[in-house]
Structure 1
Amino acid sequence: MQQSYVYILKCADGTFYTGVSSNLTQRLFQHETGYYPDCYTASRRPVELVFYAEFTDINLAIEKEKQIKKWSRAKKLALINDDFDALPNLAKKKFNK
């Protein structure tokens, strides 16, 4: 079964880009070189790989990528910093009373 990867890049402007790929090395090269000029990262280079996770099921990888894309910056930072205990609390929404 082919490996798939969910990854997070930190862009030069401090933003994060989350993606999924079955060939992480090739995809990183494409981000770093601006291979796709209309891609989010093309105008935000250089980029730095700050997180990745391996999956054996591409469907699960795509599901996780979509989930992470919806996360707040704080929650993404907790994931990047291996602060897994903080993730549940960062998922809670604060409502104005």
Structure 2
Amino acid sequence: MEAEIDYAVKMIRLMKRLGLTSIAVRPDAQHAYRKWVQKRLAKTTWNSGGCDSWYLTEDGFNATMFPGFAATFQKLLGDIDLHDYVATRSSDEVTAVG
């Protein structure tokens, strides 16, 4: 949770510095990350073995767990890659900022 909060604070500071009013994850970046997560989760005990798990939705999707150590998650959130986002500046123009 702390890594996510740190990332959000860094993003807000970056937005202020660049004069951005909104920012959204690009769909292709989100898709690539979700695919990476689900591929790694497929090898875990939370997703394999045919057991019921509170981590899984009724259709077997795991949207809860990160497939690795907390340190790995913190490293992934260490830097903001603006290529993964589309931002709106105060002039209401939608701009790729990366």
When Rg is computed on C-alpha atoms for both structures, the one with the higher figure is 2
The TM-score with structure 2 as length reference comes to 0.22
How does the TM-score come out when normalised to structure 1? Answer: 0.22
Higher strand share: 1
Higher helix share: 2
